[in-house]
């Protein structure tokens, strides 16, 4: 037992030291940014990410540092990563919109059925972690109301407890589905940003394929298939084609 406690304390000490180091680096990077040393700040932000720490604020600050250097594609990449972790953050949305104005390719978005769009917007209101907290909270309250239903002697209160418990279970299930989908969206790596100044999208995954169209840096694409070092991509207007993996960075 004592050995287990010592191991736990040792691990906690190491994790605490690493967290303090990350906080120190973050403060250092923020000071550099405030002083206009955007390139130095970006390097420090990147080092924090390499240590395994990530957050919406960290990606947002890194995006800002690249935006200030006019490295638009990398700024967009980090804003997109930030908005995956905090989909309802207005500052991230605003800066992403500003950066996208510099993208050469202006691609129309295909209209979607209004119910599909409503569900998509509803899912994007909260992050995966926020949805998970809602799952826990609603499930606990559902259990409480189910207990009231089982042990209450009042018929009216039993009915009220039943329907409230049923509603909370339903909200818990929906939140669980949303949380899972948001998490899968982050880890699936099915969206990317074009990083090269211009790339030619091919009709097939080889250099001899027919040239379909040209994309420029900063354009967002969806990955639908892969063969070797080629990726089949889809645009928001429904256009499809193949390009090399080194031409894009995964969000």
The band of 5, judged by pLDDT with boundaries at 50, 70 and 90, is very low
φ, ψ of residue 240 to 5 degrees: the values are: -130, 160
* Higher pLDDT among residues 109 and 232, named by residue: 232
The band of 172, judged by pLDDT with boundaries at 50, 70 and 90, is very high
pLDDT at 177: 86
φ, ψ of residue 28 to 5 degrees: the values are: -65, -45
Residue 13 has pLDDT above 80, yes or no: no
Residue 87 has pLDDT above 80, yes or no: yes
Measure the CA–CA gap between 10 and 185, rounded to whole angstroms: 35
pLDDT at 15: 42
Residue 32 has pLDDT above 90, yes or no: yes
pLDDT at 209: 93
Residue 50 has pLDDT above 60, yes or no: yes
- Tokens 């080889």: give the residue: 206
pLDDT at 110: 62
Q: What's the mean pLDDT in 67-87? A: 95
205-234: pLDDT as tens digits: 999 999 999 999 999 999 999 999 999 999
Whole-model pTM: value is: 0.71
Q: What's the mean pLDDT in 181-198? A: 84
pLDDT at 113: 62
User: Structural domain boundaries of the chain?
Assistant: 2-100, 114-188, 191-250
The band of 184, judged by pLDDT with boundaries at 50, 70 and 90, is confident
- Percent of the chain residues past pLDDT 70, beyond the cut: 84
Q: Report the CATH fold assignment for 2-100.
A: 1.25.40
Same fold, 2-100 and 191-250: no
The band of 109, judged by pLDDT with boundaries at 50, 70 and 90, is confident
Measure the CA–CA gap between 125 and 148, rounded to whole angstroms: 32
Burial class (CB in 10 A: 0-12, 13-18, 19+), 93: middle
CA atoms 199, 201, 204, 209: torsion sign: negative
Most confident stretch, 82-86, 181-185, 186-190:
82-86
The band of 100, judged by pLDDT with boundaries at 50, 70 and 90, is very high
Burial class (CB in 10 A: 0-12, 13-18, 19+), 114: exposed
pLDDT at 22: 78
The CATH H-level (homologous superfamily) assignment of domain 191-250 is: SH3 Domains (2.30.30.40)
pLDDT at 186: 66
Measure the CA–CA gap between 228 and 217, rounded to whole angstroms: 22
């Amino acid at each position: 037992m004592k050995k287990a406690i010592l191991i736990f304390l040792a691990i906690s000490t190491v994790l605490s030291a690493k967290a303090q180091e990350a906080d120190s680096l973050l403060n250092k990077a923020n000071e550099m940014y405030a002083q206009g040393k955007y390139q130095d700040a970006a390097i420090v932000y990147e080092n924090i990410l390499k240590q395994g720490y990530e957050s919406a604020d960290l990606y947002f600050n890194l995006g800002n540092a690249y935006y200030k250097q006019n490295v638009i594609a990398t700024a967009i990449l980090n804003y997109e990563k930030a908005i995956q972790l905090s989909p309802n953050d207005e500052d991230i949305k605003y800066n992403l919109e500003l950066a996208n104005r510099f993208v050469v390719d202006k691609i129309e978005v295909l209209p979607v059925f209004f119910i599909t769009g409503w569900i998509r917007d509803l899912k994007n209101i909260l992050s995966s972690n926020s949805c998970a907290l809602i799952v826990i909270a609603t499930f606990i309250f559902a259990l409480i109301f189910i207990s009231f239903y089982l042990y209450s002697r009042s018929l009216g209160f039993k009915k009220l407890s039943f329907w409230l418990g049923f509603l909370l279970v339903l909200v818990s299930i929906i939140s669980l589905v949303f949380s899972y989908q948001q998490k899968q969206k982050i880890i699936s790596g099915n969206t990317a940003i074009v990083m090269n100044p211009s790339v030619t999208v091919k009709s097939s995954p080889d250099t001899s394929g027919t040239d379909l169209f040209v994309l420029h840096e900063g354009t967002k694409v969806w990955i639908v298939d892969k063969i070797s070092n080629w990726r089949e991509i889809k645009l928001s207007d429904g256009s499809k084609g193949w390009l090399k993996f080194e031409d894009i960075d995964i969000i």
